[in-house]
Structure 1
Amino acid sequence: MNNLLIAERDRLVADLGLTSARWQVLETVGLQSAAVSAAQIARQLHISRQAVQRVLNDLAGQGLVALTADAGDKRAQLVSVTPEGSRMLLELDRRSEALRQKILQDDHGLVAGFLEHANHVAGQGGRDAEPHPTPRPDTAQPAAWPARAADAAMAVPARSFETVQGHILDSIRSGLLQSGDRLPAERELASNLGVGRSAVREALRSLEISGLLRFKRGVGGGAFLRESGSEGIETSIRSMLILGRLPLTDLLEVRASLLGQCARLGAQRGTEQDFAQMDRNIDELERCVRTFKDQVAAIVPATEFYRLAARSTHNRLMVLLVDAIADLVAEMLTELKHRPRLNSVTARREMVAAMRERRADDAARVIRSHSSDTNRLLLRSKRTFAQQP
């Protein structure tokens, strides 16, 4: 709805040489009782000072605002509305009222329904909530800014980078963005959403950390929607371990339960191709254990076995969870310089044999018993994890 209203406002003022962003900033300047700085306007609108300054420069070029030196701060300028700007504000008020009437007369009642729902959420627990709550003075928006109606109803304005995040997530949910697609450039996103590029960068970085985006440098680079993977889950778990917000025992308990469930579901759903891949993996693990002197050489096939067990369940979420935990376990085993033993090979062969014969309980029992032994070893890595930067 926010995007639709912004587009409608852009259409209404296109003949005046304005955009929604210029309209909003000009109105905010017009509401001030005295000349103010770009930083003060930015704080009121909850966007970056740089974004406001760029818009003010455009408005000054159109003769709608005047920029004067600030006697108290030589690095800053004060902005005020010119007589031409005042006449423009009167025209904007007229057009804004026409837009509001158009929205209220919407045959489908979309906006009225949205505001009713927003007010219901804001007023839960009290039946006498006003239909249009009055914003607090420090967060009040210009009266002619209907695109922020939801924020006014909730009395909690969204931060700029959250607006960018919401726009990207909506595009994914609607199918406009799919795995592998490249997002618009930072400048384009900032212009379309009326925010500063710093807000766009913050949103993109947050989505990258969550595992939703990946970045590519060079020609043809940019931000891309990541194909489904476990990176975001792994990053979150790792951060919680490092910060001490997740006990390692909790992670290891979940690991043992997941592997037991993998064995159980794999016994029910696994194919001969799944079991053959697990057999080859066990053969590689045994070769590494018997021939390599390097203590960590066998860790890769040892943890890869758990990934293959998860894939035999044909449950995508199970695969994501096990992949994320397998990466962390491999890291801990490497730090401990632990070398898998032949009993690891034996336990895996027993598990796969039970899965082939569809003995789900036996398969789960074998791997859970082996996981418990491994977990006791992994608990020694708790201190190592906590010391990571």
Structure 2
Amino acid sequence: MNDGQDLAFHQVRTRRVFEEICEQIRQRLASGVLKPGDKLPAERDLAVEFRVSRPAVREALRTLEMSGVISLQKGVKGGAFIRDGNPQLLTQSLQDLMFLGRVSLRSLAETRELITGVVIKLACERATEADFQAIEQNIDFIAGIQDLQQRGEAGALFFRLIAQATRNEVLMMLVDSMGDIVRYVVDKAGRKPRPELVPIRRRILKAMRARDADAAMKNMGEYLAVIHGDLEGEPVEVVRPGRSLQAVTRNAAVLRGGAVAKKMPKTAPKAAPKTVSKTAPKGTATAAARLAPAKVAATRAGRRAA
């Protein structure tokens, strides 16, 4: 953005105020007026230009920061800066949806299989000898190591190298995002040695070098069947409304361990308790307890009005 360039924001008239602010900033980004690295005007100046309160601007900036559009930096030279695109945000969004129960592992695995088929087909058409050599070196590296964590990281690179051969950045982001989530689940469940995958990788590479997309896709299907087979029936704790992430983490071991599961009650209580113990651990307050302050405030307001 050139110094002195008018961003031409308009007075907010519709929606919730902070949403309209976010939308206008996104529009300037889409039109090219704002570019990665540009610094937005100060909070006070934005409030004047939008003709809104500073808290509304502050909420909009926080929303854009959580969305990965801007970064908020402190200090004399700080401020709100437009960020470069970060594919990791896609991974985080999909992972959050999975934890919230909106995306199932089965759907994720199915989508990964479909997209990988497209990736293999394009890679067979567009890959160069340099791509094939990089994939071959990756396979040789995996075959020569025993550490399961390193093998997992190298396995993720195997998919990334194939995606890079498509010369399609969107496919690369999708492959990385879904692969990262699958790795997370596998790591939580406990990795298993899979020596049978090395020869399958070599068959995939051989078919790709021959530009035989059908054979490459068939072998990739066999590969993914092994990987995704570990995910079937794997319990992934989701974050229910009113539950804390700490509680989810504590229950993860209970879900996977039969011995520990015996300690859990067979049925959940039908109703949440009306009160919360003063000694209850942080993050375990019920919805009723969280609403209690609001009810007290409403009661006091009613008494004052009376």
User: Cα 1:328–1:273, aligned 2, differ >3 Å: closer, same or farther?
Assistant: same
1:186 counterpart (37, 43, 58):
43
Partner residue of 1:306 out of 147, 159, 167:
159
Partner residue in 2 for 1:142? none
Find out whether 1:168 has 2:21 as its counterpart.
Answer: no
Are 2:124 and 1:267 aligned? Answer: yes
**Partner residue of 1:344 out of 197, 204, 213:** 197
* Structure 2 residue 186 is matched with structure 1 residue 329: no
1:152-172 residue CA offsets vs partner (Å, 9 max, x unmatched): xxxxx3211112111211111
Distance 1:267 1:5, change over 3 A: closer
Match status 1:282 vs 2:135 = no
Query: Does the Cα contact within 8 Å between 1:211 and 1:231 map onto a contact in 2?
Result: no
Instruction: Call closer, same or farther: CA 1:276–1:220 in 2, change over 3 Å.
Output: farther
1:14 corresponding residue in structure 2: none
Aligned mates of 2:74, 2:136 — CA distance in 1 = 40
Cα distance in 1 between the residues matched to 2:112 and 2:177: 10
Please point out which of 193, 204, 209 is paired with 1:356: 209
Write the distance in 1 (CA, Å) between the matches of 2:117 and 2:176.
15
User: Do the aligned residues in 2 keep the contact of 1:299 with 1:340 (CA within 8 Å)?
Assistant: no
Give the whole-Å Cα distance in 2 for the aligned partners of 1:235 and 1:176: 28
Identity %: 33
How far apart are residue 313 of structure 1 and its match?
Answer: 0.9
Q: Match for residue 264 of structure 2?
A: none
Secondary structure at the aligned position of 1:224 is classed as strand
1:377-388 alignment runs, 5 A limit: 377-384=230-237, 387=248
Q: Do the aligned residues in 1 keep the contact of 2:135 with 2:205 (CA within 8 Å)?
A: yes
- Normalized per residue, the structure richer in helix is 1
Q: Give the partner amino acid of 2:205.
A: V
**For 2:236, what is the secondary structure of its paired residue?**
helix
Deviation at 1:189, TM superposition (A): 2.3
Corresponding pairs, count: 236
Equivalent-residue separation in structure 2 for 1:379 and 1:217 (angstroms): 46
Q: TM-score, normalised by structure 2?
A: 0.69
Query: Is contact 1:185–1:222 with CA below 8 Å preserved after alignment?
Result: yes
Deviations 1:109-154 (A, max 9, x none): xxxxxxxxxxxxxxxxxxxxxxxxxxxxxxxxxxxxxx56xx5xxx
d(CA) in 2 for partners of 1:219 and 1:179? 20
TM-score computed with the length of structure 1 as normaliser: 0.55
Q: How does 1:162-241 map to 2 (within 5 A)?
A: 162-217=19-74, 220-241=77-98
User: Runs of 5+ in structure 1 lacking a partner?
Assistant: 7-146, 152-156
Partner Cα separation in structure 2 for residue 388 and residue 192 of structure 1: 45
Alignment of 1:1-389 (within 5 A): 157-217=14-74, 220-289=77-146, 292=147, 295-384=148-237, 387=248
The Cα shift of 1:380 comes to: 4.4
